[in-house]
């Protein structure tokens, strides 16, 4: 087969649907990745305009440009949009676009999940954007501290917009986390051992892992606050056993790792671009991987440094201060690895490198002020002043925006196949760099002179006026710089000259693709022998295009890519990916219906949409799979492999495990909240406790045994190739077990638990039980699913992937049922 024929066949198989309906059904990672990037840039512009309005208001003392009600919406939305609608989606887009191309795969592990993530982002972002346009935007700060954000102090819809809109968008973050981890761990080119992975993939692997554990506390906190606002269950109100500090803990448990979630992908881009610019391999690959891992670990231990002034005991302050300072060490390791790489190489001052120099200067200053703020005595002075505003912009603009601008110029020739022709990029750099420092450098002094954050006006006697005027002028210079950047990129897209295949002389696989990235990425997948495969084999690209690597064929209209062993990178199976699908769009519409009915207090409608979500989810999973075994099939010349659902630990197994890890984090956060309130909140212990529910506990324990035994017997029966009856009966037994568990939970809630609106004790227990009921119901659905799949012939001894995943769901459902009842029992008697 010729390269051209292969290109035509693969393009047909991997292409999006033709016409307008392709917009709604495409699942291709290149398209979805670009969508994320473009949408994120749009929101960067929106949040940028808001910041201009903020600077216009602050430019002069006693300004009457906007009043406090509008100003509060401005800074709340500036922060929220930059965090949730720009930074996170931006790196998700970059990851989705680049990862498969760098790792030598044809798509992400769960293409439909990528599409669902984007649609959730699109709808959730739209809710926030519309609220902004009609003047009903959130105004409680991007941190939404209670009691200011509760129903008493924010009676309008504003806070609900934040809680529901942001949670909606977070669905896309959770989807991305699961998908990025799975893709990096198993969808790589054969031979790409973990220690041969591009550093970019290491950074994203760790980032996605952090998202998996950082977002659940915020999601939980938002759910609790929304339920408190909507139904009056007390979690944060002090007179009914709640505590506003619980919100702060949950928020910053997310909020601090969030900073590293934003910085690490950008650092990954730096570790990719900088050695290419320096024309030498990066020094200290292993050290950098160690630094990333320790950053991730440490970042979960320092959320309290946002709460140094909340009256936390001095010993705890010392511990969290030390942990916060310690973060400087892995950061220092990376900075000096990059600096050493530049020093030992022959760096060229090309455009991406110029932006990386901007990164160095801005980020190092931000890091140093960060160490200052980690010192408790200094923080209690500088906290909530303009000094912190300056610090966080140095860290985030230095640590994210400058590297992203470098990444834009570095990968634009890959994305559009063209090079820049004008020197506007340089001019844009200088305007952004000078404007940025003009805005924020002196703002440190503004803070030291006592200007607090989030004030819409100040008097001329304070001595802050000239500083604020300079900051405002700098802000507008920076804004023009960004406008110039957009114009430059536009010119490059439409007028740029053709780029060669590998214009920078890089060594990573994405540069072995034909220009303009074909929908299938690689006509055949390479065998990777080093960290920079393109430097080993300069002729790799044409050889791959001729189909001389793995899977160099267009077979049976199937979208095929390879799965490898996570550590050794040996080829293990052929993954058949799903094609174009409308499910992600329809699912996101149902979710949007749910969130909107919550937002407008149409509570009877909400369950209808949840039923819709369940039905779509069922159909989504039902599609695909086969009623006959494929056995081992050809993967390359003389090599055969099984397909993924006939091999152990397929992508779905990873997704299940990761989703359960995230859900487990939510449960742990809830239990943390329970014990926190019990020990810290004033109105404890509660007057009315739950009654002991020994009978229910015994029923649930029996359910656990039935479910556990049933699902195991069913798995064994499937493995031994038993008939439908021998598989079906144990599954029915497992379903009965799960049903017993759910019944025990419901009975305890109705008969023995106090009403949830009286005290935080009861409210938390209700949430805990509802969580367990949810997981029990999910396990029931899963068991019913494999039961019916088995009867239709979709399950065999080889095709047992579904039952493995359902076993995890079922076991988790049983365990959380028991945990809920156990915690309820203990709380009833102590």
Q: Which is nearer to another protein, 155 or 490 (CB)?
A: 155
Instruction: Count each helix (H run) and each strand (E run) in the chain, helices first.
Output: 28, 6
326 vs 469, which CB is nearer to another protein? 326
Task: List the structure tokens of 381.
Answer: 């002075």
Least separation in angstroms between residue 391's CB and another protein is: 12
Which letter does DSSP use for residue 61 in this model? T
**In the complex with another protein, which residue's Cβ is closer, 369 or 827?**
369
Q: Which of 189, 443 has the CB closer to another protein?
A: 443
With beta carbons less than 8 A apart as the criterion, state whether 81 and 128 touch: yes
Based on CB atoms, which residue is closest to another protein, 171 or 681?
A: 681
For 279-399, where are the alpha helices, taking DSSP H only?
285-299, 314-326, 328-344, 351-374, 376-382, 386-396
Q: Which is nearer to another protein, 311 or 604 (CB)?
A: 311
Question: Which residue, 382 or 577, has its beta carbon nearer to another protein?
Answer: 382
Q: Which is nearer to another protein, 337 or 407 (CB)?
A: 337
Quote the least distance from Cβ 266 to another protein, whole Å: 18
Q: How far is 512 from 502, CA to CA, in rounded Å?
A: 7
For residues 377, 379, 383, 387, the Cα torsion angle rounded to the nearest 10 degrees is: 120
- State in angstroms the smallest separation of the CB of 149 from another protein: 9
CA atoms of 144 and 24, how far apart (whole Å)? 34
Q: Do the Cβ atoms of 352 and 420 come closer than 8 Å?
A: no
Question: Residue 592 Cβ, how far from another protein at the closest point, in Å?
Answer: 31
- C-beta of 335 vs 699, nearer to another protein: 335
Nearer to another protein, 365 or 825 (CB): 365
CB 470 to another protein: min, Å: 13
- Within 10 angstroms of residue 631's Cβ, the number of other Cβ atoms is 10
Give the H/E segment covering residue 573: strand 571-577
CA 276-279-282 angle, 5° bins: 70
The least CB distance from residue 282 to another protein, in Å, is: 10
| Shortest distance (Å) from residue 330 CB to another protein | 9
Question: Could you count the other beta carbons within 10 Å of the beta carbon of residue 727?
Answer: 24
Name the residue nearer to another protein (CB basis): 461 or 637.
461
How far apart are CB 448 and another protein at their closest, in Å?
Answer: 5
Radius of gyration (C-alpha) of the chain in whole angstroms: 27
Kindly tell me the burial class for residue 286, based on how many C-beta atoms sit within 10 Å of its own C-beta (0-12, 13-18, 19 or more): exposed
**Minimal distance in Å, beta carbon 367 to another protein?**
9
User: What minimum distance in Å lies between the beta carbon of 522 and another protein?
Assistant: 33
Separation of CA 209 from chain center: 9
Q: For residue 295, what are its two tokens?
A: 């950053």
Q: How far is the CB of 83 from another protein (least distance, A)?
A: 16
The rounded distance, in Å, linking the Cα atoms of 474 and 466 is 12
**Burial call 176-197: b when 16+ CB within 10 Å, e when fewer:** bbbbbbbbbbbbbbbbbbbebb
Dist CA 370 CA 328 (whole Å): 9
- Residue 133 CB contacts under 8 Å (≥ 6 apart), including other chains: none
């Amino acid at each position: 087969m010729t390269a051209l024929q292969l290109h035509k066949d693969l393009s047909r198989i991997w292409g999006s649907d033709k016409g307008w309906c392709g917009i709604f059904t495409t699942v291709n990672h290149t398209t979805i990745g670009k969508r994320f990037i473009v949408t994120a840039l749009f929101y960067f512009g929106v949040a940028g305009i808001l910041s201009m309005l903020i600077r216009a208001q602050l430019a002069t003392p006693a300004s009457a440009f906007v009043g406090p009600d509008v100003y509060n919406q401005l800074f709340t939305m500036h922060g929220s949009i930059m965090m949730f609608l720009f930074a996170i989606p931006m790196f998700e887009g970059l990851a989705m676009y680049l990862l498969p191309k760098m790792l030598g795969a044809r798509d992400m592990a769960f293409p439909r999940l990528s599409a669902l993530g984007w649609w959730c982002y699109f709808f959730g972002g739209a809710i926030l954007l519309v609220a902004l346009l009609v003047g009903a935007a959130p105004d409680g700060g991007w941190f939404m501290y209670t009691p200011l954000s509760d129903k008493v102090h924010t009676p309008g819809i504003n806070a609900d917009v934040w809680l529901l809109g942001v949670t909606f968008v977070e669905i896309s973050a959770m989807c991305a986390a699961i998908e990025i981890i799975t893709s990096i761990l198993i969808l790589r080119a054969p031979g790409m051992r973990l220690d041969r992975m591009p550093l970019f993939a290491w950074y994203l692997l760790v980032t996605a892992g952090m998202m998996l554990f950082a977002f659940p506390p915020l999601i939980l906190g938002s759910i609790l606050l929304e339920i408190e606002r909507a139904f009056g269950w007390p979690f944060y109100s002090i007179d009914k056993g709640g505590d506003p500090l619980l919100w702060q803990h949950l928020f910053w448990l997310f909020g601090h790792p969030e900073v590293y979630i934003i910085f690490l992908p950008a650092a990954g881009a730096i570790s990719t671009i900088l050695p290419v610019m320096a024309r030498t391999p990066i020094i200290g690959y292993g050290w950098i991987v160690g630094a990333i891992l320790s950053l991730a670990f440490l970042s979960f231990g320092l959320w309290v440094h946002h709460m140094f002034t909340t009256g936390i005991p001095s010993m705890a302050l010392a511990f969290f201060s030390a942990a916060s300072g310690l973060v400087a060490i892995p950061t220092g390791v990376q900075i000096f690895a990059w600096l050493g790489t530049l020093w030992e190489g022959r760096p060229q001052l090309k455009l991406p490198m110029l932006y990386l120099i901007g990164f160095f200067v801005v980020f190092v200053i931000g890091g140093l002020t960060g160490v200052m703020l980690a010192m408790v005595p200094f923080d209690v002075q500088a906290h909530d002043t303009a000094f912190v505003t300056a610090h966080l912009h140095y860290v985030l603009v230095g640590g994210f925006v400058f590297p992203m601008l470098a990444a834009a110029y570095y990968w634009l020739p890959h994305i559009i196949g063209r090079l820049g022709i004008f020197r506007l990029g340089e001019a844009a750099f200088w305007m952004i760099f000078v404007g940025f420092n003009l805005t924020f450098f002196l703002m440190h002094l503004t803070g030291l002179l006592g200007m607090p954050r989030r004030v819409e006006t100040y008097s001329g006697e304070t001595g802050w006026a000239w500083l604020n005027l300079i900051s405002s002028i700098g802000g507008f210079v920076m804004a023009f710089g960004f406008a110039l950047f957009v114009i430059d990129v536009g010119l490059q897209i439409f007028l740029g000259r053709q780029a060669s295949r590998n214009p920078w002389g890089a060594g990573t696989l994405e540069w072995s693709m034909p220009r303009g990235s074909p929908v299938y990425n690689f006509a055949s997948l390479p065998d990777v022998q080093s960290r920079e495969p393109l430097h080993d084999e300069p002729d790799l690209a044409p050889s791959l295009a001729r189909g001389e690597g793995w899977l160099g064929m267009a077979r049976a209209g199937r979208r095929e890519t390879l799965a490898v062993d996570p550590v050794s990178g040996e080829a293990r199976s052929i993954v058949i990916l799903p094609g174009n699908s409308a499910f992600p769009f329809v699912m996101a519409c149902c979710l949007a219906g749910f969130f909107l009915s919550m937002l407008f207090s149409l509570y009877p409608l909400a369950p209808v949409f949840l039923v819709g979500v369940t039905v779509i989810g069922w159909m989504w999973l039902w599609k695909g799979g086969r009623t006959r075994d494929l056995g081992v099939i050809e993967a390359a010349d003389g090599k055969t492999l099984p397909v993924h659902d006939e091999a152990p630990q397929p992508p779905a197994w990873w997704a299940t495990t990761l989703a359960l890890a995230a859900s487990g984090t939510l449960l742990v956060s809830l239990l943390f909240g329970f014990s926190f309130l019990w020990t810290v909140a004033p109105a404890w212990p509660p007057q009315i406790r739950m009654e002991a529910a020994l009978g229910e506990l015994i029923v649930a324990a029996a359910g656990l045994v039935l479910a556990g035994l049933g699902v195991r017997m069913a798995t064994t029966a499937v493995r031994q190739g038993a008939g439908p009856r021998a598989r079906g009966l144990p599954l029915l037994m497992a379903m009965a077990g799960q049903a017993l568990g759910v019944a025990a939970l419901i009975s305890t809630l109705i008969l023995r638990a106090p009403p949830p609106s009286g005290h935080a004790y009861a409210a938390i227990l209700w949430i805990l039980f509802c969580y367990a009921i949810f997981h029990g119901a999910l396990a029931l659905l899963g068991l019913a699913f494999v039961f019916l799949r088995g009867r239709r012939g979709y399950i065999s001894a080889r095709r047992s992937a579904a039952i493995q995943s359902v076993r995890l769901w079922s076991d988790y459902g049983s365990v959380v049922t028991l945990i809920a009842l156990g915690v309820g029992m203990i709380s009833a008697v102590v």
